[in-house]
Amino acid sequence: MKHLTRLLVSAALLALPAHSAAHAATVRGADGVTVTVPPPRRVVALNATTVELIYRLGRQQTIVGTDVTGTYPPNRIPSVGHWAQLPAEGIIALNPDLVIGTADNFAAGRNSGVVAQLRAAGVKVLVLPASNEGGLDGVRTRLNILADVYGVPGAAQALSRSFDTTLAAVKANRPARAPKVIFLYAHGPNDASIYGTDGGAHDLITLAGGVNAAPFRDTRTLTAEALVTLNPDAIILLNRGLEAVGGVSGALKLPGVAQTTAGRARRIYAVDDSIRWTGPRLLEFALALARQWKTDFRR
């Protein structure tokens, strides 16, 4: 009987991930708090990019909760609610051994006190660097931190090498003439803003070979006067934004758009809804845009 028990225990250990027997990571978060964690088994992953990166590392089975943005890759992970209104009670109810989020998520809306609430309840929280800063370098940083947490550095190195390959393709496909580009964030025909140089939209524009025509860092309400003055060669919207305004025809009716070079040429492009939170697909989005611009801006 004892022999059988030893065999069963050995089999169970072999079934666990290879790193789990001894690995315990000590990681310093973006908030300066150091977290020591054994290989996590129940993770609440906040922010779309955190979920995507964990999937890329092959540890998606550990995710027991996310926010409304954690929908890619398609999954059935329970949602704790809106990313700007995170409920500490809802997160605790999932009994996580680790909550992982990004600094921009935790700073948004009413979230500023959530980290303290969770830690006061005995829940470990790892705050990753903001997902709307640092571009591709920021993605690599968050990837490597997560790889340390899970004890899978090889998976992170492989993904980083794939980034290098795609980045080379992006550079080879940039347009001969860099277009001036504006990113519009639209909720509907009468509700749109111009994104400045903060965030993933700016990173996407520059990676794809464009020049962000917005001269400010923050977000400004769209006005006809401002857009005509900036006079972009191209305009980008989120997929859902373009749909909300009624497609390209609807976008041309937004204040000032029809009076710009972009509007007259109908050079209006839609990109993935997650682009504000810079994640592992940034280069894929940039490559598609660069190829389109290479065709549209030959001279």
Provide the 10 A C-beta neighbour count for residue 119.
15
CA distances from 154 to 62, 144, 282 (A): 18, 10, 21
Angle between helices 153-172 and 135-150 (to 10 degrees): 160
CB of 222 closer than 8 Å to CB of 196: no
Rounded Cα distance, 294 and 94, in Å: 48
Per-residue pLDDT 10s for the chain (299 aa) are 444 434 333 333 333 344 444 578 999 999 999 999 898 999 999 999 999 999 999 999 999 999 999 999 999 999 999 988 999 999 999 999 999 999 999 998 788 899 999 999 999 999 999 998 899 999 999 999 999 999 999 999 999 999 999 999 999 999 999 999 999 999 998 899 999 998 889 999 999 999 999 999 889 999 999 999 999 999 999 999 999 999 999 999 999 999 999 999 999 999 998 887 899 999 999 999 999 999 999 86
- What is the structure's pLDDT at 111? 87
Supply the pTM of this predicted model: 0.87
Provide the pairing of β-strand 180-188 with 25-28: unpaired
